[in-house]
Amino acid sequence: MNRRRLATALVLVLAAGIAVPIWRLRPADRVLVAHFTRLVGVHEGSDVRVLGVRVGRVTKVRPQGRTVRVEMRYDRDLRDQLDLVGGKSYNATFVATQPKLTLTYKPSRDLTVYGTASSGYRPGGFNASPISPTYKSEYVRSFEGGFKSAWREGQVQINGALFYENDHNYQYYYVDVATASQIDQNIDRVGVKGAELEAQFHPLTHWLIFANFGYSDAKIKQLNSLPQYVGNYTPNLTPWNAAVGTEYRAPLVGDLKWYGRIDAQLYGRKYWQVDNMDVQNAKQYLNTRLGIEGDKWGAYLWGRNITDTRAYSQYVSPALGIGVAGLGFLVEPATYGIELNVKF
């Protein structure tokens, strides 16, 4: 799901001079990993207690040789907001556990089959705009099954997966230009189903050909505030994407090697808002990289979007109250550069 924050919205907020929230965000995840030579009565989902007080939960128990690896996660997120204009302050604490269960079966050396069930969490928070001052925490239960395989002594690798997610209080955002602020909102319930497939092929020792494909069908299942949009895609969704490319790395002279890569990225139609009225057509991008590498250094010439595909990275619909035209942010045009890497 493509739900990245729109950094440009901060510029709009500052330009308008309205209330700006000051956040104090403390680490949400604390993970403790312990190794035991003998373990009885502890399993995934067991409580973690200190002096009898539950402070977390065991998320993974994995045998490793003669020891057992146990992972425990405790999530606690404290958020404070100060309204510099209104002089008001808000604070809230968000607590959640994220259990995970993974079953793995390896019928042969070159084939692994797995299944995973887990719970995810994203804390709620506060908006700068009085239009919607708060938004809720998001909770998701996900299930995934897949395989990883190698063929012809590792010359060919093929991996695939199917997944399903049941998402409550799905978080999305838009830019409200009338108040020059980014608004985080919730969709009551979202269902996501999809698939991923990736393949790698080594025709020669130094030559790699790769391809991958992803599909995500994320639909609104419940939206009490706007029930007419139930069944639509979630905002900022691109239902499918793919990539294909090749790279070659081989000796040049002495200890030097030369490296070349070209790849194409393909994206399907993109649905910007909950009404699904504004849609961007499918886009393709071509990237290249060519360089010389030593043992501890590398020098490269690179190009991104060399076909100069024009597209939006973000778009705000005029239906959100910004006038007769929408507000869009373009992707980076054809860009070229030089890169030097040094290892110490």
CA distances to 34, 156, 200 from 64, in Å: 12, 28, 29
Residue 118's H or E segment, with its range, is strand 111-122
pLDDT value, residue 260: 96
Is residue 108 left, alpha or beta, with left meaning phi > 0 and alpha meaning psi from -120 to 50?
A: beta
- Give every CB contact of residue 105 below 8 A, 6+ residues apart in sequence: 112, 113, 114
Percent of the chain residues past pLDDT 70, beyond the cut:
67
CA distances to 2, 150, 168, 176 from 191, in Å: 15, 32, 9, 26
Please tell me the total number of residues recorded for the chain in this structure. 344
Edge-to-edge strand list for the sheet holding 111-122: 100-108, 111-122, 138-151, 156-176, 181-204, 207-222, 240-253, 256-267, 283-293, 297-304, 335-342
- pLDDT tens, 112-166? 999 988 888 888 888 776 666 788 889 999 999 999 999 998 899 999 999 999 9
- pLDDT tens, 80-100? 666 665 566 667 676 677 777
- Report which of 122, 103, 113 is spatially closest to residue 25, judged by C-alpha positions: 122
User: 254 is written with which tokens?
Assistant: 């002495």
Q: How many CB atoms lie within 10 A of CB 62?
A: 12
Average pLDDT of span 242-251: 95
Is residue 124 left, alpha or beta, with left meaning phi > 0 and alpha meaning psi from -120 to 50?
A: beta
User: 72 is written with which tokens?
Assistant: 């425990």
- pLDDT tens, 262-304? 999 999 999 998 999 889 999 999 999 999 999 899 999 999 9
Phi then psi for 8, rounded to 5 degrees? -65, -25
Per-domain residue ranges of the chain: 8-18+84-342
| Banded pLDDT at 65 (limits 50, 70, 90) | very low
| Banded pLDDT at 19 (limits 50, 70, 90) | very low
| Banded pLDDT at 1 (limits 50, 70, 90) | very low
Percent of the chain residues past pLDDT 90, beyond the cut:
49
Q: Where are the alpha helices (DSSP H) in the chain?
A: 8-16
User: 89 is written with which tokens?
Assistant: 């302050």
Contact (CB, 8 A) for 113 and 147 = yes
Q: How many CB atoms lie within 10 A of CB 73?
A: 21
| Banded pLDDT at 344 (limits 50, 70, 90) | confident
Domain 8-18+84-342 in CATH 3.90.70.10? The answer is no
Alpha-carbon span 174 to 328, nearest angstrom: 12
Average pLDDT of span 243-255: 93
The model's pTM is 0.72
Give Dmax over CA atoms of the chain in angstroms.
68
pLDDT value, residue 170: 94
